[in-house]
Structure 1
Amino acid sequence: MNNDRLYLPAEWAVQSGVQLTWPHAGTDWAPYLDEITETYLQLADAITRHEALLVVSPEVEYVRELLEARLGRARMARVVFACCDTDDTWARDHGAITLMGGDEPVLLDFRFNGWGEKFGWQHDNAITRHLCEQGLLHGSREDHDDMVLEGGSIESDGRGTVFTTSQCLLAPHRNQPLSREEIDAELRRRLRARRVVWINHGNLVGDDTDGHIDTTVRVALHDTLLYIKCSDQADEHYADFCAMERELQALRTDDGRPYRLIALPMVDEIRYDDERLPATYANFLIVNGAVIYPTYDQPHNDQAAAEALHQAFPDHELIGIDSRVIIRQHGSIHCLTMQLPAGVLCR
């Protein structure tokens, strides 16, 4: 196999489908399972309007019935099912990270350990292997179980630059005792990247992931970075997110140019069970021809987020989905999904 030209594609590259790992009563969604199931059905509807959907669940026939009732026969032809035991639903972090550019896709299967052994993870860590064994993913699986890496902790521009955050990759129970320099080298080697850009500020209160980059800074076309801007000096995030904004303003592309920066609004404080939730507009999903983004029943902020996303993706349809139930478990739309590049999902 010729792997000399492998690269990590940007999320806006052409996709064959999106993976959703479906919620069930054995997950932390149990107290509001009906509500999150409705959100998943909305996600499935939005995704299958644009491309195929891979549904992972230990309850395939039950989920099939739900989707048939919502999607109808024609779009059900776009749905692929995989029966797997699961601990939770965060496909972004247990899904395969796919490299392209070789003779066939390379599916990097990193260790997922529940964001530093905070939650159960053994079933989820095995999902990618099971998908490959079931013949649902085309490409060679590359076992990286010796390194913890969650898909939400990295962003790629598709041209050899990978973005990440120091607060996540250096957090406890990930890859100690490796230093930042050693992790940087491992990321470049395993992701076939030329450089890693580390962001040192911007951590949402209530975030279980220790600061995934997909909650604060996202990469878009034409060297654009979308980022969360905090404008309220009374908000506890203000100083940290102002420091992150200064970091981004100082960044340069690999050929020395400043990035185009587009600010997304900070979500007004949302609390549940007396806890501030890490709600963010940065946690959007790019699919073929559309951007599926979270909304929070905050009309002014929801509209400002849509306008910012339109600036970054003027040719994409914008699809807003109410994510107030998702963030009760401290994630949002991007966290629940994993895109599969062209040629990866077998149908």
Structure 2
Amino acid sequence: MVSTPKERGFFFPAEWHPHEATWITFPYNDHSWQGGKLAQMYPEYFALIKAISLGEKVKINVNNVALKDFILGELLKYQIDPQQIELFIRPTNDAWCRDHGPAFLIKNGSPERLLIDWGYNAWGGKYPPFDDDDRIPQAIAKDLGVACQSPGIIMEGGSVEFNGKGTVLTSRSCLLNPNRNPHLTQAHIENYLQEYYGVDQVLWVSDGIVGDDTDGHIDDTVRFVNEDTVITMVEPNVADDNHAVLAQNLQELREMRLLDGRPLKIIEIPMPDAVVIDEFRAPGSYANFYISNAAVIVPTFHCPQDSIALEILSTLFIDRPVIGLSAREIIWGQGSFHCLTQQEPKAVL
């Protein structure tokens, strides 16, 4: 019988753990950014790449050679150091590397890493085809020469949030949705999380925000900023559709206890103004930030709450700058900076 990653001492580190690189999958067709909006989001996308590249390599899954040539030209245009970019040509479907990309596990005191290849079905089969994206973790494992293990169930990186000290946060609306793993109970899901992410505790909130087609990913609502502190999104406007669900999540967070019995320290951040594009409300949220080596990169939406969110996050991350980058065009694809990225952590030596 094959031992689990946890049994072998592997764990998924917190996002603020030093990165070897960040992986992204380059968007090339308009099924996520319909109505001619793909080209409009590229300036924001390359601004994200540039911000990450200042502190680590950016490794990009690229669908074909023509797209590789386009990217190389854009690197010059946006003054991005090409030495910080690595391009890997392989078939891809969509851009959301947080969900279809690999989960890298490390082991204390060892150079060894392990790559977890969760199954991927585009958030319950919503956006076929997704078979090329589902194969990406195995392809990356082969490229890097890293061992790979497949749990055999559906799991998305945006649905889980880690403190690096044995705790994972997730949402019932996503992981218990029958469109993912209908044969599994909550207890089964918790066992998979513990054994394949190397954690000891699973904490659950109820739901996600309006416009989130992932059925409630945690990375739009609650994020760890250190081992015992979370930020959580709140909606002060009681008439807004997000008010009740975020208030429910907040109450649940207040009742949670960490492994040593401590309550969570909870910092509230107000939601941005509703981001409505072509009569569709997109899932704009400051919680979808990405913690890179060089900075905490926060999506902004051209509203007064942008400065409030950046100020709050700047008081919480004291080891690296907090920067805001516009995500008004990217969010039309129903995701933002965290959804687009997946970190490759350094080994712990």
- TM-score of the superposition, structure 2-length normalised? 0.92
Task: Supply the distance in 1 between the matched residues of 2:308 and 2:257 (Cα, whole angstroms).
Answer: 26
Residues 105, 138 of structure 1: 8 Å contact kept: no
Matches within 5 A, 1:98-177: 98-101=104-107, 103-120=111-128, 121-133=130-142, 135=143, 137-144=144-151, 146-177=152-183
| 1:226 maps to which of 221, 231, 242 | 231
Q: 1:148 to 1:245 in 2, by over 3 A?
A: same
The reply on whether 1:327 has 2:331 as its aligned counterpart is: yes
Aligned residue for 2:118, secondary structure, equals strand
1:138 shift after superposition: 4.8
Which stretch has the larger CA shift, 107-116 or 273-282? 273-282
The Cα offsets for residues 211-248 of structure 1, whole Å up to 9 and x where unpaired, read as: 00000000111411011011111112212211111111
| Pairing partner for 1:189 from 191, 195, 205 | 195
Contact 1:262 1:312 survives alignment (8 Å): no
Distance 2:10 2:186 in 1: 24
User: Which residue among 301, 317, 329 is the counterpart of 2:305?
Assistant: 301
Instruction: State how far apart, in whole Å, the 2-side matches of 1:78 and 1:289 are.
Output: 13
- Note the aligned Cα RMSD (angstroms): 1.8
Query: What stretches of structure 1 of length at least 5 have no aligned partner?
Result: none
Q: Report the equivalent of 1:209.
A: 214
1:131 is displaced (CA, Å) by 2.1
Residue 336 of structure 2 aligns to which amino acid in structure 1? S
Cα distance in 2, alignment partners of residues 153 and 222 from structure 1: 18
Q: Is the 8 A contact 2:327 2:336 kept in 1?
A: yes
Matched residue, 2:79: 71
Report the Cα distance in structure 1 between the residues aligned to 2:93 and 2:31, rounded to whole angstroms. Answer: 6
Cα deviation for residue 4 of structure 1 reads 2.8
Aligned residues: 337
Letter in 1 for 2:115: L
For structure 2, the residue ranges without an aligned partner over 5 or more in a row are: none
1:274 to 279, 285, 291: 279
SS of equivalent residue, structure 2 residue 274: coil
**Secondary structure class of the residue paired with 1:11:** coil
CA contact (8 A) 2:119 2:134 kept: yes
Following superposition, the deviation at residue 42 of structure 1 comes to 0.5
CA distance in 2 between partners of 1:165 and 1:28 (Å)? 24
Q: CA deviation at 1:21?
A: 0.9
Q: 1:343: how far off?
A: 5.1
Matched, 1:285 2:293: no
Q: Which runs of 4+ in 1 moved over 4 A?
A: none
Q: Which of the residues 335, 341, 345 maps onto 1:337?
A: 341
* Structure-2 separation of matches of 1:116 and 1:271: 24
Q: CA deviation at 1:314?
A: 2.1
Looking at structure 1, the residues matched to 242 and 26 of structure 2 have their Cα atoms a distance apart, in angstroms, of 32
* Alpha-carbon displacement from aligned partner over 1:173-204 (angstroms, at most 9, x marks no partner): 20112111111112112212111111124x21
